[in-house]
Structure 1
Amino acid sequence: MQKRFLAPLSATLMLLAWTSLAAARIPLPDITELVDKDGPAVVNISTTKTAKVQEGMRDMFEQFHNRRGGPMDDFFDQFEKFFGPQGKGGGKPHKQRSMGSGFVISADGYIVTNNHVIDNADEVKVQFKNNEKPLAAKIVGRDPETDLALLKIDGKSNLPFLEFGDSGKIKVGEWVLAIGNPFGLENTVTLGIVSAKGRIIGAGPFDNFIQTDASINPGNSGGPLIDLDGKVVGINTAIVASGQGIGFAIPSSMAKEVIAQLREGKTVKRGWIGVTIQDIDENTAKALGLDNTKGALVTSVLDGQPAAKAGIKTGDVITAVAGDKVENTNELLRRIAALRPGQSTEMTVVRKGSPVTVSVTLGERDPQKLAQQGGPGEEGGDATAPAEAQAKSVGLTLRAVTAKEAKALGMDKARGVLVTEVEDGSEAEQADVRPGDVVFEVNQRAVNSPEEFKKVVAEDGKDKGVVMLQIKRQRQTVFRTVPLGETK
Structure 2
Amino acid sequence: MQTLKRSMAALIALLALSLSVTARAELPDFTTLAEKASPAVVNISTTQKLPDRSGAQMGIPDLDNLPPGLREFFERSIPRGQGQGQAPRGQQREAQSLGSGFIISDDGYILTNNHVVADADEILVRLSDRSEHKAKLVGADPRSDVAVLKIEAKNLPTLKLGDSDKLKVGEWVLAIGSPFGFDHSVTAGIVSAKGRSLPNENYVPFIQTDVAINPGNSGGPLLNLQGEVVGINSQIFTRSGGFMGLSFAIPIDVAMNVADQLKKGGKVSRGWLGVVIQEVNKDLAESFGLDKPSGALVAQLVEDGPAAKGGLQVGDVILSLNGQTINESADLPHLVGNMKPGDKAALEVIRDGSRKTLNMTIGNLPDEDEEVAAVEGKGAERSSNRLGVTVAELTPEQRKSLDIKAGVVIKEVQGGPAAMIGLRQGDVITHLNNRAVDSSKTFSEIAKSLPKDRSISMRVLRQGRASFITFKLAE
Normalising by structure 1, we get a TM-score of 0.84
Deviation at 1:429, TM superposition (A): 4.3
Give the match for residue 306 of structure 2.
306
The residue that corresponds to 2:425 in the other structure is 435
Structure 2 stretches lacking a partner, 5+ long: 1-11
Instruction: Sort the Cα spacing of 1:78 and 1:304 in 2 relative to 1 into closer, same or farther, 3 A.
Output: closer
Structure 1 residue matching 2:332: 3-state secondary structure: helix
Letter in 1 for 2:432: V
Higher alpha-carbon deviation: 210-219 or 468-477 = 468-477
Distance in 1 (CA, whole Å) between partners of 2:198 and 2:13 is 44
Task: Provide, for residues 288-323 of structure 1, a one-character-per-residue CA deviation record: whole Å limited to 9, x for no partner.
Answer: 112222111111222122112111111111221112
One-letter amino acid of the structure 2 residue matched with residue 421 of structure 1: V
Distance 1:127 1:355, change over 3 A: same
Partner of 1:83 in structure 2? 87
Matches within 5 A, 1:126-145: 126-131=125-130, 133-145=131-143
Q: Distance in 1 between matches of 2:54 and 2:413?
A: 42
SS for the counterpart of 2:330 is helix
Q: CA deviation at 1:328?
A: 2.5
Q: Which residue of 2 aligns with 1:471?
A: 460
2:459 and 2:86 map into 1 onto residues whose CA distance is: 59
Q: Specify the code of the residue in structure 2 equivalent to 1:34.
A: L
Q: Tell me which residue corresponds to 1:416.
A: 408
Give the 3 Å change call, closer, same or farther, for CA 339–448 of structure 1 in structure 2. closer
Residue 334 (structure 2) aligns with = 334
* Residues 59 and 360 of structure 1: CA distance in aligned 2, closer, same or farther (over 3 Å): same
After superposition, the C-alpha distances for 1:128-184 in whole angstroms (9 at most, x for unaligned) are 1132x3111111111100100001112x23111012211222122211111011111
8 Å contact from structure 1 (residues 283, 483) kept in 2: no
Matched, 1:445 2:443: no
**Conservation of the 8 A alpha-carbon contact between 1:397 and 1:422:** yes
Tell me, yes or no, if the aligned pair for 2:219 and 2:232 is still in contact at 8 Å.
Answer: yes
In the aligned structure 1, how far is the partner of 2:156 from the partner of 2:18? 48
How many aligned positions are there? Answer: 455
Aligned-residue Cα RMSD (Å) equals: 3.1
| Aligned with residue 208 of structure 1, among 202, 205, 210 | 205
Q: How far is 1:446 from its partner? A: 2.8
**Aligned twin of 2:94:** 95
1:223 matched residue in structure 2: 220
TM-superposed deviation, 1:66: 7.6
SS at match of 1:392: coil
The amino acid across from 1:322 in the alignment is N
**DSSP-derived class of the 2:161 partner:** coil
Q: Which moved more, 1:414-423 or 1:94-103?
A: 414-423
For 2:259, what is the secondary structure of its paired residue?
helix
Please name the residue that 1:10 is paired with: none
CA shift, 1:342, in A, is 2.0
Deviation at 1:356, TM superposition (A): 2.1
Structure 2: how far apart are the matches of 1:413 and 1:324?
33
- Normalised by the length of structure 2, the TM-score is 0.86
Which residue of structure 1 lines up, in the alignment, with residue 44 of structure 2? 45
Q: CA deviation at 1:207?
A: 3.9
CA distance in 1, matches of 2:85, 2:470: 62
Q: Is the 8 A contact 2:298 2:314 kept in 1?
A: yes
C-alpha contact 2:173 2:225 (8 A) present in aligned 1? yes
Q: What residue number does 1:480 align with?
A: 469
Distance 1:66 1:410, change over 3 A: farther
Could you tell me which amino acid in structure 2 is paired with residue 152 of structure 1? K
Which residue is 2:4 aligned to? none
Deviation at residue 64 of structure 1 after TM alignment: 5.0
Alignment correspondent of 1:176 = 173
Provide the rounded CA distance (Å) in 2 between the counterparts of 1:222 and 1:168: 20
Measured in 2, the distance between the counterparts of 1:66 and 1:470 equals 62
Give 1:61 shift.
2.4
Secondary structure in 1 aligned to 2:469? strand
- The 2-side partners of 1:352 and 1:129 are apart by 61
Question: Does the C-alpha gap of structure 1 residues 222 and 108 become closer, same or farther in structure 2, counting only changes over 3 Å?
Answer: same
- Structure 1 counterpart of 2:315, one-letter code: G
In structure 1, how many angstroms separate the alpha carbons of the residues matched to 2:199 and 2:355? 31
Moved more, 410-419 or 206-215: 410-419
SS at match of 2:201: coil
Aligned mates of 2:199, 2:404 — CA distance in 1? 35
Alignment of 1:79-478 (within 5 A): 83-85=87-89, 92-131=91-130, 133-154=131-152, 156-242=153-239, 244-368=244-368, 370=369, 372-374=370-372, 377-382=374-379, 389-394=382-387, 396-401=388-393, 403=395, 406=398, 410=402, 415-416=407-408, 418=410, 420-421=412-413, 423=415, 426=417, 428-448=418-438, 452-459=442-449, 461-462=450-451, 465-478=454-467
Residues in 1 aligned to 2:54 and 2:335: alpha-carbon distance in whole angstroms: 43
8 Å CA contact 2:376, 2:398 repeated in 1 = no
* CA 454–464 in structure 1, closer or farther in 2 if over 3 Å, else same: farther
Q: Which residue of 2 aligns with 1:61?
A: 60
1:322-380 CA deviation, whole Å, 9 max, x = no partner?
12111222211111111111222222222212222222122211232x0x424x51544
Judging changes above 3 Å, is the alpha-carbon distance between structure 1 residues 222 and 469 closer, same or farther for their aligned structure 2 residues?
A: same
- Cα distance in 2 for partners of 1:57, 1:235 equals 43
Instruction: Indicate the percent of aligned positions where both proteins have the same amino acid.
Output: 39
Distance 1:402 1:125, change over 3 A: closer
Shift of 1:244: 2.1
Map Cα deviations across residues 73-109 of structure 1 (whole Å, 9 max, x no partner). 7689995775112xxxx5x421111110000011111
1:201-248 Cα distance to aligned partner (Å, 9 max, x none)? 215222422122221111110000111000011101111232522211
Structure 1: distance between partners of 2:319 and 2:53: 48
Alpha-carbon contact 2:315-2:434 (below 8 Å) kept: yes
Q: Which amino acid aligns with 1:83?
A: A
Contact 1:400 1:450 in 2 (8 A): yes
What secondary structure does 2:106 align onto? coil
User: How far apart are the structure 2 equivalents of 1:320 and 1:252?
Assistant: 24
- Give yes or no for contact 1:317–1:350 (8 Å, CA) kept in 2: yes
Residue identity matched to 1:453: F
Residue 66 to residue 289, structure 1, CA distance change in 2 (3 Å): farther
Q: CA deviation at 1:18?
A: 8.6
